[in-house]
Every structure is written in structure tokens, then in C-alpha cells.
Amino acid sequence: MAQFDEVAQKSKLHPKPEGLTLQYGTAGFRTNAKHLDHIMFRMGLLATLRSKKTKSTIGVMVTASHNPEEDNGVKLIDPMGEMVAAAWEEYATQLANAEQEHLLTALKDIIEKEDVSMSEAASVYIGRDTRPSSAALSQAVLDGVSSLGGKTHDYGLVSTPQLHYMVCCCNTKGRYGSATLEGYYQKLSQAFLQLTQNVPNRTDDQKRLLLDGANGIGALKMRELEPFIRSELQVLLSNDGSSGKLNHLCGADYVKVQQKAPQGVSMGVGERCCSFDGDADRIVYYYTDSKNCFHLLDGDKIATLISTFLKELLTQAELNLQVAVVQTAYANGSSTHYLEDVMKVSVCCTKTGVKHLHHAAQEYDIGVYFEANGHGTVLFSKAAQKQIVELVKDSNINDERKHAAKLLENTVNLINQTVGDAISDMLVIEAVLAIRGMSVQDWDEIYTDLPNRQLKVTVSDRRVIDTTDAERRAVTPEGLQDAIDSLVKKYKNARSFVRPSGTEDVVRVYAEADTQEGADSLAHEVSLAVYRLAGGVGDEPKPLH
């Protein structure tokens, strides 16, 4: 068939290096950009098949998020703006690893298994981050799509969540918003202004926010959004990409992992600051106090702030909707305790990775999900949205209920429900702080994090570690969980777990305890247990102190 002739021809321009195998991991393919040209071409092919199969527009985002600038990556976006279905992650890996001469066979295999009708039209939206390699790599995606006769729309430089939004807008025929950057800024800024405009007594200080753009796409997009929201929020942007290197000593991942402020931001005492990651789907907040002590407000604090706000509004609006928070094993024990025991919110724990949290959050009327690393959003069920909209229109209710309903409606519109979105999350947080009249310190004091430590251990094969109970317990290798259990007993308020990373060739170790020394020492002892029982390589882990 002529269709496949073109694939055969064009694929020669994007040859696969022999023997190279890569996996579609938790967040798509991710590695050094020089190994990715063939992957991009092939993901263009796969997105075209997925589009034919779903009869919808599919997204392809070229980014490696918080990885160093030399890396790149790619993820596929399904019709409603969610992560691509699990079975197609498998196909992605198969297609990526087929040697050059077997590419067509691998492609036809998928077509057959999924019964893809090749006569269907296909449409693929493409976006990319600011990495130097991204432009050429997204061109390879375009080549892949066009070689199978698919239509493309290249959005060029956009944040990951913006592309998710575009895909959702397109497939809902504009009901979610209009599939343009202008449409995105309009939707978010209108909701934000309505939430904040009538808040009394806001000082200029409260309207000021320092933002570290990680020298990435988020910085560029904030500049574009800025004129829309200027009257209510003054964003002072650092690490805007004009001189610094992407994610280098800055960005949400750096701040979260190092638990310190990024370089290039001059923070005054108590000033509210936040950092995006390299593709602007994560955000963390922080400030330093008068003793120069650094305070991080991570995804757990964000989930607490937002869920508490929503719960209060539901009470005021007299709406009987269930709010639940979805976390992972990394959630700080204090946050889980606060949510369950003080706020009486249901908490559910899932495996690490956005798709797991997203899926779990869909089970509730209102599902707030956040990873501790700052990736998250809120999902409102269709029924919940309908009840909110109807209440706003109801002329028989008192002013307090009406006001709460209106706030809820605008919050729904401000949240990017397709995926965690640093820009949208930032505006939600800013609106909640404004409406509640809270400073960043007030927010921080809702609960106190238990001291914690994350470490990594290199082993010869991380797959020897198998976990259960949302990654909180290790099933194999034998003896490891028993060893962790007895170590945990030595410390107060302690908890620890280990899991193989989905993005790096390491085993991750997490520990928390009542003191930092305790958390550090427990993390070290657990690392040693992993090293000894799970085939550690290189030097034995050394104590932190």
C-alpha cells in the first residue's frame, strides 16, 4: 500500500540506531536528545494510529520536563487530555524498539491487534518545550504523522498542560474552552479575576509573587499570561530563560529535592515564592522566615489548601458532594493525618505516576490529587459540575449560598482538569490565599511536615524489588520488608518505603521520623538494607552525617 511506502521511505531519514532499546516509562520516553530522532518519528506514527482508532485528535508533547537540557522526551496525550491508555504505552515501546527492517511489521501488528481502520482520518496536535533539540525532534514527529497521511497542528512552544488543554478543547468541540493559547489565557484569567477582584483590602504585597520559571517554557508562557491578570497579580519572574540554563540550579524539582531556594531569585523575608518545572506541569511554593530558615510548601500542602477551601465552600453552598484527596506514598505523614483526622476528608493512596492518581481521582465527586513533588490538579465529576452550575442559576437561594456557588464555579473554570498545570495551580493557590486572607506563613502553619529524607541506591537490577499496597511495602527480595519494619521501629513517628524508580536506573528510599537526624539515619539504614539484600553495586551507602 502506498501509505506504508511513504512510511518506509521517510523512516530511512529517521533511522533507529541498531541495538538501542528504550522504554515508554512513567512519563513517556526520556533520554539524551541525540538518541531520540527515530523515537519521535515513530511516535508520530503511533499517534496517527491512536487518532484513527479513537476517531479523535491525539497530542504529542516533546519535552523532558525537569531533566537536564541535553535530554529530551516525548509523551502521548489521549482524547480527553489524559495520559495515553496503558496498552498503547506497550505499543509505544514495541514500535520504538523494532529494528529498522521490522518497523512496518511492528506497525501492522498494532493495526491488526487494535483493528485500526486505516481509512479513518487522523489529527495530531504537537507541542514542544524550549530545549535546543526540541524543534528538530518535533519535526520528526510531524514527519511520522504526515507519512501516514494524518493532519497535524503544530502549536510550537507550549507548556505540557497547555497541549493537554488544546487536545481536550478540540475533542469536546470547544465545550472545555477554545483550542488556542488566547483561549487558554482568556479562560484562566477570567476565572481568576472573578475570584479575586472583589476581595477587600488586598495590599500590594499580597498581590506580589516571585516566580522561578526554571529557565523553561513556563517562564515564556507566564509572560504571555501576565497582561491578562496584571491588575490582580504582579508576578516577578526570575530564571526566565534569557541567560540561565534550563532546570540548572532552579525549578520545582531542584527546590523540592534540595529543599532550598533556587539560584537567581532574591527573596525577602516572608516573601511568597514559587517554582515551575521545565515543562510547567509542577509547582512548589516556599519562603524564608526571619531566622533565614527555608520553608517548602509542596504538593501535599497545596492539596490541603485547595481541598480545605473546596470543602468549606461546599458547606456554605449546602452542596452534598464528596471531596477526596489522592496522594502517593511520598505524601508527608502529617498531611495525611491532618486531612483524615482534622479535616475529615477521605484520603486515598496510589502508586507514583500521574496516571495512577488521575485515575483514582475520577472516582469521586471532587478528587483533589497531588504528588508531593508538586504535580496535581482537581477533577470535578460531570454531576458535581452540573450541581454547581445549577446552584449559581438558582434564584431561590440566599446570598451566602449563591456567593459560595459562584466561587466554586469560578474555581472549576480556573483549574486545568486535564492534567497538573503549574500556571493554573498557581492561580488557584493565589486566589485561595486572597479569598481566605492568608499569608504564605498562615498556609504553612496548617500543619507541620514530619522531617523526611529521600535517597537513591544503585543496584544491578532494580526489578528485583517488587512492591504492593501502593508501593508502601516491598514483597521481594525476601527479607527486605522485614528489615525495613524493624529499622522503622527504632525511630519515633517513623515510616519508610523503597521502590524502583520508573525514570532512572535506581531504587528510591524514603524515610520520615520525628527529627531530621532520625529521618536521615533511618533513610541511611534502609539504603544499606537495600544495598545488601537487593544487589547493590558500587560503594556501600555512607551515612549522611
- Give the binding site for ligand 16G (CB under 6 A): 26-27, 352-354, 371, 373, 375, 501-504, 508
**Considering the complex, what minimum distance in angstroms separates the CB of residue 83 from Mg ion?**
13
Output the CA angle 345-347-352, nearest 5 degrees: 150
Binding partner of 353, given Mg ion, ligand 16G, none, CB within 5-8 angstroms per partner class: ligand 16G
Q: In three state form, how does the secondary structure of 178-192 look?
A: CCCHHHHHHHHHHHH
The smaller minimum CB distance to ligand 16G, of residues 191 and 465, is found at 465
Least spacing, CB of residue 282 vs Mg ion, in Å: 5
Which does residue 279 touch among Mg ion, ligand 16G, none (CB within 5 to 8 A, set by kind)? Mg ion
Nearer Cβ to Mg ion, position 212 or 277? 277
Q: Which partner in ligand 16G, Mg ion, none is near 140 (CB below 5 to 8 A by kind)?
A: none
Q: Supply the minimum distance, in Å, between the C-beta of residue 185 and ligand 16G.
A: 23
Indicate the DSSP class of residue 52.
H
User: Quick one: what does residue 373 bind among Mg ion, ligand 16G, none, with the CB cut-off 5 to 8 Å set by partner type?
Assistant: ligand 16G
CB of 135 to ligand 16G, least distance (A): 22
Amino acid 293 reads C
Give me the sign of the Cα torsion angle 417, 418, 420, 426: negative
Active-site residue flag, 65: yes
Cα dihedral 79/80/82/86 (nearest 10): -50
Catalytic hit among 11, 51, 65, 334: 65
Q: What are the phi and psi torsion angles at 457 (to 5°)?
A: -125, 135
* DSSP letter (8 states) at residue 338: I
Residue type, 230: R
Cβ atoms < 10 Å from Cβ of 9: 10
Angle between helices 422-436 and 399-414 (to 10 degrees): 160
Min CB(260)–ligand 16G separation in Å:
20
Say which entry of Mg ion, ligand 16G, none residue 52 contacts (CB below 5 to 8 A, set by partner kind): none
Residue nearest to Mg ion (CB): 65
Of the two residues 289 and 505, which places its CB atom closer to ligand 16G in the complex? 505
CB of 65 or CB of 527, closer to Mg ion: 65
Smallest separation (angstroms) from ligand 16G to the CB of 83: 7
Q: Which does 444 bind (CB under 5 to 8 A by kind): Mg ion, ligand 16G, none?
A: none
Cβ-based nearer residue to Mg ion, 78 or 253: 253
The shares of helix, strand and coil residues in the chain, as percent rounded to the nearest 5, are: 45, 20, 40
In the block, which residue shows the cell 531504587?
Answer: 507
Torsion sign (Cα): 241, 244, 250, 254: positive
Looking at the Cβ atoms of 213 and 374, the one nearer to ligand 16G is: 374
Q: CA gyration radius for the chain?
A: 24
In whole angstroms, give the CA distance from residue 192 to residue 455.
39
The partner in contact with residue 238, picked from Mg ion, ligand 16G, none with C-beta cut-offs of 5 to 8 angstroms by kind, is none
477 prior amide bond cis, ω within 30: yes
Whether 346 and 280 have beta carbons less than 8 Å apart is answered as no
DSSP string, 248-291: TT-SHHHHHHHTSPPTT--PPTT--EEEE-TTSS-EEEEEE-TT
- Nearer to ligand 16G among residue 281 and residue 520 (C-beta): 281
What is the C-alpha separation between 323 and 346, in angstroms, rounded?
7
Residues forming beta bridges with residue 73, ordered by sequence position: 30
Contacts of 410 (CB under 8 A, 6+ apart): 191, 192, 194, 195
Of 77 and 181, nearer to ligand 16G (C-beta) is 77
Please report how close the Cβ of residue 65 comes to ligand 16G at its closest, in angstroms.
6
Q: C-beta of 354: minimal distance to Mg ion in Å?
A: 9
Q: Which residues contact 139 (CB under 8 A, 6 or more apart)?
A: none
Please give the backbone phi and psi of residue 30, each rounded to the nearest 5 degrees, phi first: -155, 120
Closest to 123 (Cα-Cα) out of 162, 179, 175, 72:
179
What does 521 interact with, of ligand 16G, Mg ion, none (CB < 5 to 8 A by kind)? none
* Interface positions with Mg ion (CB under 5 A): 65, 277, 279, 281
Catalytic residues: 65
